[in-house]
Amino acid sequence: MKIIIVGGGGREHALLKALGKNPGIETIYALPGNGGMVGEALLVDIAATEVEAIRDFACQKAVDLVVVGPEAPLTLGLVDLLTEAGILAFGPRKNAALVEGSKVFAKELMRKYGIPTAEYMVFADHGEALNFVQNREELDYVIKADGLAAGKGVIIPQTREEAVEAINAIMAERVFGASGNRVVIEELLTGPEVTMLTFCDGKTVVPMVSSMDHKRVGDGDEGPNTGGMGVIAPNPYYTEEIHRYCWEHIYRPTVQALEKEGRPFQGCLYFGLMLTPAGPKVIEYNCRFGDPEAQAVLPLLKTDLLQVLKATIQGRLAKVPVDFSSAHAACVMAASKGYPGDYETGWEISMGELADAVVYHSGTASRNGKLYTAGGRVLGVTATAPDLEAAIGKAYRGMGKIHFPGMHYRRDIGQRALEKRKDGGA
Ligand code: AMP
Ligand code: GLY
């Protein structure tokens, strides 16, 4: 078997390592991959957004499966192109990837089908959006660019000036390009956040293990938002009772809604949830595995990932058991100096022997057998253990063996989860 993994982050490295356990797979190509994948995959210098080049490469190599990691190629229709070319591809088609590609689409879907989410308004006119934020007394709302914005399209204004600046940046200066043609202004929700990744074959939805991302750059959730600085799974705020509620009011209705709309979702559907005092609500959908959530959730998967991916594509999920370990996982991300602002790259990375943790690379490059930093988030260390405290300890011991100039990482990944567990959570 020959497989292509599209993307080059920690999520794709976690997919690669999970697939690599299957002895039937001879070759894995990573497009474009990263330095940490050298030796585990053949790196091919095609960017994840070059969808036609990816299709042509897949045909030329006659690969058996393409696994698409990031959202951008999915919203560009990579899976449609591959499917038309007769190649098995994991990920939603373009019309279903819209759940992430357009926040307006996602909100309208949820409103139409009664799926719990924040109240919202859509503005297509710059003046009207400005008028709204200038006349609103309370800062009880969140501003979101409609389209993809590399994780930067959500603004929670602390002052009215910030709200005005955000509207101007998105709708007038077009800092996110066409993604800012419309904005969603929605109710500010409060409560713990939970990520639930699911496998979804168009009809059947199979929840994985809940997880908790740590989005802020600094300890104690201080500082600016990042792509995610660490994650633990399962999430202790996510109880059985909450799971039952989400299953009935969120997961199943979302999948049914997409099918009814003629946009069956096949792939990994990501539910970003907030457990508000009024019950769980959807903050966002993503059309792919989370990064870094995948680095904590996939190591807990006991079933062969290849079989699950194929069952998802072929609509057979109802017949395939998907089992997860009851262990806990913790993943700590290390970032370059300056991240999430402008950051340094090109530093050599030294790495000792990691006995009981695994390293998933994100922004690394390999030259002459040496590893160098090449991105904002550089790598993550994941460990699993029968309890969360032990998993966290192992992940941090692993991180202690890795060094590069300017390296920084949070020291408190999982602490809030541990406190919650002590309070008697799940
Ligand atoms: P995203 O960039 O889409 O991953 O979202 C960034 C973060 O913004 C989310 O993880 C939440 O912490 C926060 N957020 C998004 N929508 C809301 C909301 N309606 N109320 C409160 N926080 C929100
Ligand atoms: N960790 C958040 C995301 O993947 O969008």
Residue length of the chain: 426
Residue 31's identity, in one-letter code, is L
Q: Is the pTM of this model over 0.85?
A: yes
Among 225, 291, 297, the mutation site with the greatest number of ligand 2 atoms within 8 A of its Cβ is: 291
pLDDT computed for residue 274 by the predictor: 98
Residue 222 pLDDT: 94
Q: According to the model, what pLDDT value does residue 315 have?
A: 97
Condensed to tens digits (0 to 9), the pLDDT of residues 258-306 reads: 999 999 999 999 999 999 999 999 999 999 999 999 999 999 999 999 9
- The span from the CA of 382 to the CA of 392, in Å, is 9
In degrees and rounded to multiples of 5, residue 96 shows phi and psi of -95, -25
Query: Taking 90 as the threshold, does the pLDDT of residue 230 lie above it?
Result: yes
Ligand 1 lined by 283 (C-beta under 6 Å): yes
Highest average pLDDT, of 121-130, 142-151, 155-164, 248-257, comes from 248-257
The answer, yes or no, to whether any atom of ligand 1 lies below 6 A from the CB of 191, is: no
Q: 284: CA distance to ligand 1 center in Å?
A: 8
Taking alpha carbons only, the member of 285, 191, 284 closest to residue 235 is 191
Report the percentage of the chain scoring pLDDT > 90: 94
**422 has a pLDDT exceeding 80:** no
pLDDT confidence of residue 425 = 52
What is the CATH code for 193-422? 3.30.470.20
Model confidence at 424: pLDDT above 70: no
| CA 286–ligand 1 middle distance (angstroms) | 12
Which has the closest alpha carbon to 375: 364, 387, 359, 389? 364
Helix (H, G, I), strand (E, B) or coil at 306: helix
**How far apart are the C-alpha atoms of 215 and 228, rounded to whole Å?**
4
Query: How far apart, in whole angstroms, are the C-alpha atoms of residue 94 and residue 198?
Result: 18
What local confidence, expressed as pLDDT, does residue 177 receive?
A: 87
pLDDT in tens, 344-358: 999 999 999 888 999
| CA angle in degrees (0–180, nearest 5) for 393-196-111 | 150
pLDDT confidence of residue 355: 84
> How many whole angstroms separate alpha carbon 14 and alpha carbon 20?
10
Give residue 396 CA to ligand 1 midpoint distance, Å.
Answer: 27
Is the CB–ligand 1 distance for residue 320 below 6 Å? Answer: no
**Structure confidence at residue 380 (pLDDT):** 98
Contacts 24+ apart (CB under 8 A), 213-217: 213/290, 213/292, 213/293, 214/410, 214/412, 214/413, 217/335, 217/339, 217/340, 217/410
Ligand 2 pocket member 69 (CB < 6 A): no
Q: Is 228 in the pocket of ligand 2 (CB under 6 A)?
A: yes
How does DSSP assign 85-117, residue by residue?
TT--EES--HHHHHHHH-HHHHHHHHHHHT--B
- Give just the sign of the alpha carbon dihedral 51, 56, 57, 61: positive
Per-residue confidence band for 158, with pLDDT thresholds at 50, 70 and 90: very high
Please give the helix or strand (H or E) that residue 56 lies within, else none.
helix 51-60
What are the boundaries of each domain within the chain?
2-95, 119-187, 193-422
The pLDDT-based confidence of 399 (bands split at 50, 70, 90) is very high
151 has pLDDT over 80: no
Question: How close is the Cα of 341 to the center of ligand 1, in Å?
Answer: 19
Query: If one looks up domain 119-187 in CATH, what number appears?
Result: 3.30.1490.20
pLDDT digits (tens, 9 = 90+) for 178-224: 898 999 999 999 999 999 999 999 999 999 999 999 999 999 999 98
Q: Does residue 423 register a pLDDT over 80?
A: no
Rounded CA separation 6/381 (Å) = 21
Average pLDDT over the chain, rounded to an integer: 96
User: Which one of 3.40.190.10, 3.30.43.10, 3.40.50.20, 3.40.50.2300 gives the CATH number of domain 2-95?
Assistant: 3.40.50.20
